[in-house]
Amino acid sequence: MNHWIVAPIVLPAILAPFIIMVLRFHLDLQRIFSVAGVVALIGIALTITAQAAGGDIQVYELGNWPAPFGIVLVLDRLSAMMVLLTALLALPIVLYAIASGWDDRGKHFHALFHFQLMGVCGAFLTGDAFNLFVFFEVLLIASYGLMTHGGGSVRLKAGVQYVAYNLLGSTLFLFALGTLYAVTGTLNMADMAVRVAELPADDTALLRVGAVLLLLVFCIKAAVLPLHFWLPASYASAPLPVAALFAIMTKVGAYSILRMYTLGFGPEVEATQGLVGAWLQPAALVTLAVGAIGILGAQHIARMVAFCAITSMGTLLIAISLFTETATAAALYYVYHSTLATALMFLVADLVMERRGGAIVPTAPMPQSGLISALFFVGAIALAGMPPLSGFVGKLLVLDAARDAPDANAIWAVILIGSFVTIVGLARAGSLIFWKSHDAQYNTETDPDNEEEAAPAPAPEPNPGLAFTAVFAMAIGLVLLTLFAGPALEYTAKTAEQLFTPENYIAAVLGGDT
Amino acid sequence: MEALVASAVGVMTAAGIFLILRRRTFPVILGLSLLTYAVNVFLFATGRLALDAPAVLNKYKEVPYTDPLPQALVLTAIVISFGMTAVIVMIALSAYLSSKDDHIDMNAHDSVDAPGEDA
């Protein structure tokens, strides 16, 4: 067995308690170990991605119990690339959190951060549905701590809502898994896929209920429209570096939809025919539309970026809901792009909020306005999907993949108009926040939100150099994703091909006896 | 037996949903607890209901047995929901203590503008 597969889970699982128990009172040591841990995680992620790139599906049997009796971790191209994305995202965020002093505004930031990474990596790697639930809970409970990190009554109230909503989601998840177990008698995803395919066609009522409940749970995580209410308030009230890390959490929902519904409950499986695409696609279109309107209407930069996250989930789920190989390849490229772009915008929003508050109104210039506005510009171009950055490539691919779909007109219209509204919204925010004329007189007295702006202060970060390096690293990541779009697309195309031949996955997990 | 378990799950879920739609945090937390009880009982039933049957196989003769896996799942679910309830109680308490207000909804003046400033 290849023990690298379990390493992305074991490393944070050991590091986080170590930070709590041994380094509790030593912030400097915590920072060193935390950064070292994230760097090591990148190394591990690169290793397993290289191993998965060949196309073998490797299985790690926990406790050496063979599937379907034991829990298995499965490494294929999709899970490897998602783990790599998690690790690559975590490094700039942890550096930014250190440089901006966010990790010093409450206790146990680094430990919670690593628990969160453990949950996310576990959710990407596991091949067992109940284990997926457990890893969801691991990442959620860490996210509760991170979301309320630093305290404050508004953040805590938003935290209560966030926790309550997610507890409800967890309950639904258990109902869904219980129903599926009652029908299929297994929780192993591959085994479940086999049993679903064998189910007689007139006995699928319960299974369909379970599949729809499961889709609902993943849609809550992915913030698809009727279930997105938790996202704007939570992300906007969370510490913004944490919100940047949460950019990967909505993708966990998208990943789970992709995994479960290409493997077992896909549109071509008779038992669950007409369930996923029929519901997911209109919901994704509305998500994109409402997200774009939210960007236009937001009064606060953090809320605006939260709506950007919703918009990008809309685009991503449109691509996923097509359930074709080319659309999935486009969706996987878009996952990388939208995660990095959303996280970049959250960090830029934090730079802005630390200097002048987050309200989208004209105020006196802030320190380092030029650098920040350049970063905002990069992030806005990427998010809106304008050339030359990766958002353009991603949206082009999604549009191209949707060309032959039955609802191509609706998809094209929503994506293009949504992008236009996004551009308008981001341009409005950018010009109100950053665009200053030198002789303008700012009437700071009439603006109660910005008392501290009267005297422009130096940069509030303890270490602005490192903070900007971290944000620039994220921007460079976007540029690299654009430059190396060719190889990246080759990889995602192969990943999609692997996803749409689930027989190989099932054979790898269940061994030769299927 | 089936009717009893089914109605227990149904009643607890209904009461839970009623409670989570209340405006203050305390009933909402009670509602979440009721929902987790409901899901725990539901999970037991997913292995089919069997009376007076052990959860182990007998290798010497064919005897009725009950499915052990849902019991393991319920155990996990109980532990997780217990921990989660403790977390939400703590967060709700500190939200109440810092804002002197235990409404679950955000007021108009609870804008997200500068959320950390009263920390």
Q: CB-CB: which of A150, A159, A303 is closest to B119?
A: A150
Farthest-apart Cα atoms in chain A, separation: 78
Mutate to test the interface with A, among B81, B91, B102 (most CBs of A within 10 A): B91
Q: Does position A211 have pLDDT exceeding 60, yes or no?
A: yes
Q: What is the pLDDT of residues B89-104, one digit of tens each?
A: 999 999 899 888 888 7
Task: Please tell me which residue, A337 or A355, carries the higher pLDDT value.
Answer: A337
Q: DSSP class of residue A24? A: T
Mean pLDDT, residues A318-325: 89
Examine residue A252 and state whether it is found in any structural domain, yes or no: no
Task: Please tell me which residue, A271 or A345, carries the higher pLDDT value.
Answer: A345
ipTM of the complex: 0.89
Kindly indicate the confidence band of residue A457, based on its pLDDT and cuts at 50, 70 and 90.
low
Q: With CB atoms and an 8 Å threshold, state whether A177 touches B73.
A: yes
For residue A163, which amino acid is it?
V
Q: Taken in order A192, A194, A196, A198, is the CA torsion positive or negative? A: negative
Q: What is the pLDDT of residues B1-22, one digit of tens each?
A: 889 999 999 999 999 999 999 9
Q: What local confidence, expressed as pLDDT, does residue A267 receive?
A: 65
Q: What is the pLDDT of residues A483-510, one digit of tens each?
A: 999 999 999 999 999 998 888 898 988 8
Separation in Å, CA of B53 to nearest CA in chain A: 18
For the whole model, what pTM was predicted? 0.91
Separation in Å, CA of B44 to nearest CA in chain A: 9
3 state DSSP class of A74: strand
Q: What is the pLDDT of residues A96-155, one digit of tens each?
A: 999 988 888 888 899 999 999 999 999 999 999 999 999 999 999 999 999 998 888 888
In angstroms, the CA A289 to CA A299 distance is: 18
Phi, psi of A359 (to 5 degrees): -65, 140
Q: With CB atoms and an 8 Å threshold, state whether A154 touches B112.
A: yes
Phi, psi of A188 (to 5 degrees): -70, 130
In angstroms, the CA A345 to CA A295 distance is: 13
Mean pLDDT, residues A251-258: 93
Q: What local confidence, expressed as pLDDT, does residue A271 receive?
A: 65
Which residue of chain A is at minimal alpha-carbon distance from B116?
A152
Evaluate whether A77 touches A495 at the Cβ level (below 8 Å).
yes
Q: What is the pLDDT of residues A149-198, one digit of tens each?
A: 888 888 888 899 899 999 999 999 999 999 999 988 889 999 988 888 88
Examine residue A216 and state whether it is found in any structural domain, yes or no: no
Mutate to test the interface with A, among B9, B113, B117 (most CBs of A within 10 A): B113
Q: Does position A439 have pLDDT exceeding 70, yes or no?
A: no
Kindly indicate the confidence band of residue B108, based on its pLDDT and cuts at 50, 70 and 90.
low
Q: With CB atoms and an 8 Å threshold, state whether B115 touches A171.
A: no
Region of poorest pLDDT, from A411-425, A466-480, B91-105: B91-105
Q: With CB atoms and an 8 Å threshold, state whether B32 touches A164.
A: yes
Number of domains making up chain B? 1
List, in sequence order, every residue forming a beta bridge with A72; answer none if it has no partner.
Answer: A61
Phi, psi of B64 (to 5 degrees): -65, 145
Query: Chain A contacts of B39, Cβ < 8 Å?
Result: 171, 174-175, 178
Q: What local confidence, expressed as pLDDT, does residue A326 receive?
A: 92
Q: What is the pLDDT of residues A349-378, one digit of tens each?
A: 999 988 888 888 887 777 788 888 999 999
Examine residue B44 and state whether it is found in any structural domain, yes or no: yes
Q: With CB atoms and an 8 Å threshold, state whether B42 touches A174.
A: yes
Examine residue A477 and state whether it is found in any structural domain, yes or no: yes
Q: What local confidence, expressed as pLDDT, does residue A277 receive?
A: 73
Q: Does position B113 have pLDDT exceeding 60, yes or no?
A: no
Q: With CB atoms and an 8 Å threshold, state whether A237 touches B115.
A: yes
Q: With CB atoms and an 8 Å threshold, state whether A152 touches B119.
A: yes
Residues 6+ apart with CB under 8 A from B70: A178, A181, B43, B44, B45, B46, B47
Query: How far out from the chain centre does Cα A364 lie?
Result: 34
Q: What local confidence, expressed as pLDDT, does residue B114 receive?
A: 44
Q: What local confidence, expressed as pLDDT, does residue A454 receive?
A: 44
Query: Chain B contacts of A237, Cβ < 8 Å?
Result: 112, 115
Number of domains making up chain A? 1
Q: With CB atoms and an 8 Å threshold, state whether B113 touches A358.
A: yes
3 state DSSP class of B110: coil
Separation in Å, CA of B61 to nearest CA in chain A: 23
Region of poorest pLDDT, from A136-145, A295-304, A439-448: A439-448
Q: Does position A388 have pLDDT exceeding 90, yes or no?
A: no
Q: What local confidence, expressed as pLDDT, does residue A462 receive?
A: 81
Which residue of chain B is at minimal alpha-carbon distance from A158?
B106
Evaluate whether A176 touches A240 at the Cβ level (below 8 Å).
no
CB burial of A425-459 (b: ≥16 within 10 Å; e: otherwise) equals bbeebbeebbebeeeeeeeeeebebbeebeeeeeb
Evaluate whether A322 touches A261 at the Cβ level (below 8 Å).
no
In angstroms, the CA A48 to CA A74 distance is: 11
Q: CB-CB: which of B95, B111, B116 is closest to A150?
A: B116
Q: With CB atoms and an 8 Å threshold, state whether A160 touches B32.
A: no
Give the CA-trace dihedral at A30, A36, A41, A47, to 10 degrees.
-170
Half-sphere exposure (Cβ direction) of B92: Cα atoms closer than 13 Å: 23
Mean predicted lDDT score pLDDT of chain B: 84
Q: With CB atoms and an 8 Å threshold, state whether A233 touches B73.
A: no
Phi-psi region of A204 (alpha: psi -120 to 50; beta: other; left: phi over 0): alpha
Mutate to test the interface with B, among A104, A137, A156, A307 (most CBs of B within 10 A): A156
Q: What local confidence, expressed as pLDDT, does residue B117 receive?
A: 40
Q: What local confidence, expressed as pLDDT, does residue A263 receive?
A: 86
In angstroms, the CA A129 to CA A256 distance is: 10
Q: With CB atoms and an 8 Å threshold, state whether A155 touches B116.
A: yes
Evaluate whether B92 touches B33 at the Cβ level (below 8 Å).
no
* Nearest residue to A42 via CA among A98, A110, A121: A121
Q: What is the pLDDT of residues B51-68, one digit of tens each?
A: 888 878 778 888 888 888
Residues 6+ apart with CB under 8 A from A352: A301, A358, A366, A372, A376, A433
Mean predicted lDDT score pLDDT of chain A: 88
Q: What is the pLDDT of residues A58-80, one digit of tens each?
A: 999 888 888 888 899 999 999 99
Q: Does position A512 have pLDDT exceeding 70, yes or no?
A: no
Q: What local confidence, expressed as pLDDT, does residue A171 receive?
A: 93
Evaluate whether A219 touches A227 at the Cβ level (below 8 Å).
yes
Examine residue B115 and state whether it is found in any structural domain, yes or no: no
Q: With CB atoms and an 8 Å threshold, state whether B98 touches A156.
A: yes
Q: What is the pLDDT of residues A4-33, one digit of tens each?
A: 999 999 999 999 999 999 988 889 999 999
Q: Does position A448 have pLDDT exceeding 60, yes or no?
A: no
Examine residue B41 and state whether it is found in any structural domain, yes or no: yes
Domain of residue B80 covers: 2-52+65-99
Query: Chain B contacts of A182, Cβ < 8 Å?
Result: 45-48
3 state DSSP class of A83: helix
Mean pLDDT, residues B68-82: 90
Q: What local confidence, expressed as pLDDT, does residue A17 receive?
A: 94
In angstroms, the CA A348 to CA B44 distance is: 49
